[in-house]
Amino acid sequence: MGVGAILACGSGGSPSNAPSPSNDAGGDGASGSCSADIANGGNCNSISHFGPLVTPTCSDDAIPSGIGGTIVDGTYFLTAETFYADVCPQPPMSGTLVITGYCWQQSADGQAAGESTTASALVVAQGNQIIVTPTCTASGASSNATTETFTVSGTTLTLFTMNAALGNCNPDYVSVYTKQ
């Protein structure tokens, strides 16, 4: 769920193993819900943009893959973003991710379109993969399920979003979040 992961325009299906409970998030400055009955197009949560601005970097290398780990509940700030493609957005961005069990809520700002967005999703970790099933997305964003790999190292959660292999219109990218 990098800054663009659940806000992306990609394709995918609904995983058969997505969690079924609605997992309302609380605390850590987030109010909202991961329930499937949240209407798309508006604010999905009330997370404030309190993360630092990050200037993305670009790479011509192949995108790496995550190795897994134990994802810990909490509030995470985007601390690095690397794009792997011919398309390389350069404007600074910020992102805040609040994880409460299966419920992941995100707020992002400063994207290429200059917009602020919020999103919520149910997320299941299996090995080194997370299956992201959006329950609320910003207007015009994808509501399709995606699969990403991840790595947890100390207080850092790194998300590897491989869009190109899925025929997605967004570039591949790696988002690094640091737990606060």
Q: Is residue 73 part of a domain?
A: yes
- Which CATH number do you get for residue 70? 2.40.128.50
Q: State the Cα–Cα distance between residues 96 and 101, nearest whole angstrom.
A: 16
Rounded to the nearest 10°, the torsion over CA 99, 121, 107, 153 is 40
**CB of 132 closer than 8 Å to CB of 126:** no
Reduce the DSSP state of residue 64 to 3 states and report it.
Answer: coil
Supply the pLDDT for residue 115: 67
Q: Is residue 35 part of a domain?
A: no
Pairing assessment for the beta strands 103-109 and 117-126 based on DSSP bridges: antiparallel
Q: Is residue 47 part of a domain?
A: no
Structure tokens at 45: 């949560």
Supply the pLDDT for residue 111: 56
Domain around 152: 57-179
Q: State the Cα–Cα distance between residues 57 and 112, nearest whole angstrom.
A: 14
pLDDT in tens, the chain (180 residues): 554 443 344 333 333 333 443 334 333 334 556 765 555 556 788 887 778 889 999 998 989 999 999 999 999 999 999 998 776 767 888 999 999 999 999 888 865 555 678 888 999 999 999 998 888 876 545 556 677 999 999 999 999 988 876 666 778 899 999 999
Q: State the Cα–Cα distance between residues 52 and 133, nearest whole angstrom.
A: 27
Supply the pLDDT for residue 7: 37
Q: Is residue 80 part of a domain?
A: yes
Phi, psi of 85 (to 5 degrees): 180, 175
How many domains is the chain built from? 1
Q: Is residue 159 part of a domain?
A: yes
